Structures are given as C-alpha cells and as structure tokens.
Amino acid sequence: KAMCSGKLQTALLVAGYFVYLLVGAAVFQALERTAEKQEKMAAAQMKEAFLQNFTQLTVAEMEQFMKNLIEAIQNGVYPVGNESQFEESNWDFSNSFFFAGTVVSTIGYGTLHPKTAGGQIFCVFFALFGIPLNIVFLHRVGKMLSLLCKKLGKFLYEKGMRKKKIKFLTLLFFLAMGILVFLCLPSVFFQITEGWSYSEGIYFAFITLSTIGFGDYVVGKQSDRKYFSYYRVLVAIWILFGLAWIALLFNL
C-alpha cells in the first residue's frame, strides 16, 4: 500500500508539474505574441526606411538607427531576410514551453524574456511558485532513480561484493550513464541540428544542466536553419530530466 501510494503521489506530481508548465506556456504566449508582432512590424518599417534613405542619413540619424537596431535584437527581433520571417513567432507554443522550463529551472538564458507589463508580472508569480515546485519535482525523480541504485546495490551484494565497493561502482555507473545520456549523446544531436561543433555541444549541455545559462549558445535561434516542430519542447524535457540526474548524483 505504501509503495502504491508513493507511486501515485509521484505520478500526480509529474502530471501536475507538466500541466503547470503547459499552462504557463499558454499564458506567456497569449500575453506576449501580440506585442511581439507590433515590434516586428516596427522593425520592418525601420529597415525599409533605412534602405530607402541610407545615402542621405546624417551621422546622428545613423547612430539612432543603430540604437534602434540593437534594441530590436535585444528584444528578440532580427530584421533580416524577407517579410515571411516576421511571421515566425518567438512566442509560439514550443518557444513558450521552453521559456517556462528555463524559468522554473532558474537557467534564465536571457535571449527570450517577457516585455509586456502583464507578461512580466505573470513571470514573477509563475517563478515564485514554479521554482519550489521544480525543486520538489527534481527531488522526487531523483529519489525514484535512487531506488534503481538500491536495486543494483542489492544485486551486487547478493553476488558477494563488499559494501564500499558497491557504493563506488553504483556512483560510477550512474555518473557514466548520465554523462553518456545527458551530455555526450545530446551533443551529437545539437551538432547535427544546430551546426555547432561537438565541443560547442558539450559546452552548451554543461552550461545548461549546471543552470549557469550564459545565453551565448541557445537552441532554435538560428534564422537560416529549419527546426522540426516542438524541437525546443524536446530540449526542455531533456533539461528537466538532466537536472533530475544531477539531483540523483547529489543524493548518492
């Protein structure tokens, strides 16, 4: 009964956690998408005006254009290419879910952030409740994975192995498996999908899972590449379970 109750609690926690992220993603999308469209239209108009008059611009006007351009890029608007690129939103569901995941995991790349007053206020409350929920989620998943460690340890003990050696081998096994599953293999995936070198993929994976999150490398941000649907959702799920693996190492 206790085991069934624990499994039910874990299932409810995981379901509740992902529902929280899904609701957060939907709200961020609803609050930010309209404002983003207006920013993109303004950036497109600025670019068009510059192309029509760039031979007649004064130094002051040129400097103002550069300031406006830098501000647009900081807000996630890249006025490059044709108008069809302006139809692609930084706040589609995949990006919104990815953003919600980086908020509760405290990675905070900084390349995508809410700009409306409503989005910023919602982000405060979303993080306020989401970060503790994320800690509980990681602790529970880490606890589940540690049960696998106990089973492995029990198996080795029955084979006549000493306890100290069992502890060392168990830690080594989950460390090696985690490095393979959460660092080495994803880096190959990022190398293919993003066009990064393998070392850049390793660097991104480590900086992300350590929650440092510099923001110098972020998935799905290159305008000249076509990404499959829900690519960033998949990366967000990788991040969450990668953090759970790190939580397991702390438990061990």
On whether both 54 and 98 belong to a single domain, the answer is: no
pLDDT in tens, 100-128: 999 999 999 988 889 899 999 999 999 99
pLDDT in tens, 153-166: 888 888 888 888 88
On whether both 167 and 102 belong to a single domain, the answer is: yes
- Percent of the chain past pLDDT 90, that is, above it, reads 44
On whether both 121 and 182 belong to a single domain, the answer is: yes
Higher-confidence position of 129 and 45 = 129
On whether both 158 and 216 belong to a single domain, the answer is: yes
182 domain residue, yes or no:
yes
Instruction: Judge contact between 115 and 28, C-beta under 8 A.
Output: no
Q: What is the DSSP string of 15-63?
A: HHHHHHHHHHHHHHHHHHHHHHHHHHHHHHHHHHHHHHHGGG--HHHHH
73 domain residue, yes or no:
no
Instruction: Judge contact between 201 and 190, C-beta under 8 A.
Output: yes
70 domain residue, yes or no:
no
On whether both 23 and 126 belong to a single domain, the answer is: no
76 domain residue, yes or no:
no
On whether both 103 and 228 belong to a single domain, the answer is: yes
66 domain residue, yes or no:
no
On whether both 38 and 152 belong to a single domain, the answer is: no
The domain boundary residue, chosen from 17, 37, 58: 58
- Percent of the chain past pLDDT 70, that is, above it, reads 96
On whether both 13 and 102 belong to a single domain, the answer is: no
134 domain residue, yes or no:
yes
d(CA 50, CA 55): 9
pLDDT of residue 81: 64
User: Residue 177, exposed/middle/buried by CB under 10 A (0-12, 13-18, 19+)?
Assistant: exposed
pLDDT in tens, 70-97: 887 777 777 776 554 556 788 999 999 9
CATH code for position 234? 1.10.287.70
184 domain residue, yes or no:
yes
Instruction: Judge contact between 208 and 239, C-beta under 8 A.
Output: yes
State how many domains the chain has: 2
On whether both 30 and 96 belong to a single domain, the answer is: no
Using CA atoms, how far residue 11 sits from 6, 14, 135, 141, in Å, is: 9, 5, 16, 10
Mean pLDDT rounded to a whole number for the chain? 87
pLDDT in tens, 177-187: 999 999 999 99
pLDDT of residue 129 exceeding 70: yes
On whether both 19 and 132 belong to a single domain, the answer is: no
On whether both 46 and 115 belong to a single domain, the answer is: no
pLDDT of residue 249: 79
Enclosing domain of residue 240: 91-251
d(CA 233, CA 138): 18
Closest CA to 104 of 149, 137, 79, 82: 137
On whether both 99 and 216 belong to a single domain, the answer is: yes
